Each structure stands twice: as C-alpha cells, then as structure tokens.
Amino acid sequence: MSTDVVATIDRLRATFDSGRTADLGWRKRQLQGVIDLVRENEQQLSDALAADLGKPAFDTWLTELNLVKDEAAHALKHLGGWSRKTKRSVPLVAQPAKAWTEPQPLGTVLIIAPWNYPLQLLLAPAVAALAAGNAVVLKPSELAPATSAAVAELVPKYLDTDAVAVVEGGVPETTELLAEAWDHILYTGSTRVGQVVMEAAAKHLTPVTLELGGKSPTIIAADANLAVAARRVAWAKILNAGQTCIAPDYLLVEQSVSDEFARLVVDELAGFRDQAPATSIVNEHHLERLEGLLDGHGGEELLPRKTDRDTRVMAPVVVRSPDPASPVMQEEIFGPILPFIEVASVDEAIAFIKARPRPLALYLFTSSKTTERQVLDQTHAGSVCINHLVYQAAVTDLPFGGIGPSGMGAYHGKAGFDTFSHTKSVLKRPTWTDPGFAYPPYTDQIQKVLKFLTRW
C-alpha cells in the first residue's frame, strides 16, 4: 500500500483514539456537512453523474442527492435518541444493581461503493458511520471516475479531514485497503466481489455488511390494478437503465391476465423509451454482457432491440416466456431487459421464487390482503414493496439490506447507526453491601434460599 494511504489510515485511527469522533457535537457537524455538500454542489455532482452514466439531472436529484440529504437529516434529527443509554432489568439474584446498554462507535471503518449509484451508495452509508461516531475511509467506484473525482475534491471541504478520507483507485487500491484490519467494512456490489470482501475481512475477524444483488421478482396477481402495475413496473425498470440492485428483475404474471398485462407493460415501456431521457449503460463491457443475455433466451421479444452504441443507451426489451435455464433467468440482469413469465397462480409464483436464491427485494401487486399475507409469510427477501417498486429504499426509517446470497446486515436510519455501533452492556453494583453468604462455602440453608429466589 502506498505510504500516503498508510499515513491517512494511521491519522484516522489516531483521531478516533483521541475520542474526538465520539462527541455528539462533532457527529452533528459532520452530518450537517454532508447535507451542505450535496445542497451546495448540486450542479457539479449532476455534471459528474452525467459524465459517468449519462444520468439526467432530475434522476440525479431524485435517486442520489435527495436520498443522501434525507438520510443525513433523519440521522441529525434522531441522533440524540439513538445515542442514549437503555435501562435493562436485573434479576433478583444479581441485586442490588443497575444495568444498561449504551452504543459505542466501532472505530475506523471502510465503505466501498459501486458505480450504479456512485454518490448515494457512498455517502448514505457514510452518514450511518458518522452518526455512530466512527472515522471513515470512503472508496468510490473507479467505474464512475467523474463522480469519484468530485467526491475526492468536495469531502475535505465539508468533513473533518482527520477523520474522513477518500481513497480513489481501482482493484489494486481496493485490494490493498482490504488487507488492512478494519473495525467494520460495508461493501455494496456484486455477489462475486462480496465473497472476496468477506474472505479478506475474515482474516482479521472484521465484521462486514454486504449489500449485494440477485434477481428480484415481481408478482402480478390477477386481482391487481393492472394499468397502475404496468406503469410502475415500467418506471422501475427504466430507472437508471435498470442498473439498480433492487430493480424488478423478472415478472411472474398470473396466466388469466398475462396477455392484458403484457400489452400494458409494453405500451408503458415504449412510451418511456421514446419520451423520457435515458441513462447510459455504464461501459461497453456491460453493454455487450446485456446483449449476450438476449441471445438464446428461448422466449419471445415483445419490444424490438434498439441500442445506440455511441451513447451506450439501450432501449428496454420485454422477453416473454424465456427458458428458466437461460442466462437471462439465471444471472442478475442489471439492465433494461424484463423477462415475463406466466404462472397458473400466486402459489406457483411463490414456489418459483422459493426454488431460487433469496432476493434483495420482492414486489407484489394485488388488491387482496390474503394474497399479501400469503406472499409475506411464504417468501424470504431483503425487503418487500407492495403495489409499487423501489420506494422502500427511499424510506429512511426502514432498514435496507439483503438476506442469504443477496447480502447480510442493513443500514438506513437507526439500523445504520446500530450497524456501525457496538452495543456495550454495563452492570453496576454498589459496595455498601457485601454479605458473606454471597460467597463460598454455601451452607445448605443459603443454597435453599438462593434456589427459592431463582426458582423455575
């Protein structure tokens, strides 16, 4: 690792050890700094995201800047309550005593962000880490170089440079960072790299939060409002050109309404792709990967393929009845391709989902509370959104995280504060009383009394 990076990490650890970051006033100043950073530099950050992803300015505001601001404002509002001691009960055998828990910052933590939401998925976890009182190293994605450069320029202007640092670079730099002994690592990205991160962390017994991906299903029940469902599915699929970890990856549509829903969702997608500004596929490699997923799927393409290779803008494609064994149904798509599978019933949809790895998100459109409860009870997913998509990740008070191969741990709101805190247990006993019968040898009478007091 370079001498400069080693010196930076040493400086951050020294700052943490000094106790500066534990102070609530310091934490609040950092949270306000994050808010000021995104508010005062909206144009610069929008330009950077446009350069990296061709992202429209409003999409940048909606999915990046505003979410970071909301996360920091929520933490700023609730930090006092989150940081308080919590009284715990003490059993009779341990009396007289007081017991409580108190959150304590972990130390120096590493946050590794992906390229698809390169600002939000870097700064939102940073909000949680700073609210909890940690020193933080931020590693932005090298696949979003303009955003990485903007963050590296702006963070030192708004946050404490002795406690927060940005380390730019690619795989070699990330590998070197992972070789360090951190107090926590939060990584957002692919399952494959998540395994690398977890393996590196295991060498130091470092706890990790992994926000991964997977194939997030959408169930369309026959009793759903089909027009609204089609519009919302289409919007969620074109958002960021489908390059969203909780994007609807495939549809499971009840057969009795499949023809009608196919027509509706195709119409909505066609309208969006002709009228709405489009985000680019991040690079040529990913564009070729997406085109490869369309080859050999064994289904029917309901929208014609249309790709502008100069801008890397790929129009959405609906694939009806693909082969479940084809790559488009086996790999996370992460692009504007929408497989459409007919099922005989919601029961069949649930069975289809349960036969596959647990997803990061699951979506359900239904007007039936019974169906809603059935899906919630019989499936596992990191999060569920009913009659809409993606918005669950915008609710700061809802934990965001995966389950099984889609990730471990969570953040957002109080869940993020808890992720980057250690809940320290404390028991305090007075010294004004110290009866001899509390110590050996225990007479038969004392044993009977103690057993009576703790009878079960």
pLDDT range class, residue 1, cuts 50, 70, 90: low
Q: Does domain 217-401 have CATH number 3.40.50.2000?
A: no
Within 18-61, where are the H helices? Answer: 24-40, 42-53, 57-60
| Catalytic residue from among 71, 245, 254, 268 | 245
Question: What is the domain partition of the chain in residue ranges?
Answer: 3-212+406-423, 217-401
- Residue 167 CA to residue 174 CA, distance in Å, equals 9
CATH of domain 3-212+406-423: 3.40.605.10
For the stretch 167-180, pLDDT in tens is 999 999 999 999 99
Contacts of 430 (CB under 8 A, 6+ apart): 96, 97
Amino acid sitting at position 55: K
| Catalytic residue from among 71, 180, 211, 332 | 211
pTM of this structure: 0.94
- Residue 436 CA to residue 446 CA, distance in Å, equals 11
Structure tokens that stand for 120 in this block: 């939000």
Q: Is 211 a catalytic residue?
A: yes
pLDDT range class, residue 102, cuts 50, 70, 90: very high
Is 220 strand, coil or helix?
A: strand
For the stretch 378-429, pLDDT in tens is 999 999 999 999 999 999 999 999 999 999 999 999 999 999 999 999 999 9
Contacts of 21 (CB under 8 A, 6+ apart): 15, 27, 105, 130, 133, 134, 135, 160, 163
Half-sphere exposure of 211 (CA within 13 A, CB side): 27
Q: Is 245 a catalytic residue?
A: yes
DSSP class per residue in 424-441: EEEEE--SS---GGGSSS
- Residue 35 CA to residue 58 CA, distance in Å, equals 18
Query: In b/e form, how buried is each residue of 98-133, taking b as 16+ CB within 10 angstroms?
Result: ebeeebebbbbbbbbbbbbbbbbbbbbbbbbbbbbb
Mean residue pLDDT of the chain comes to 95
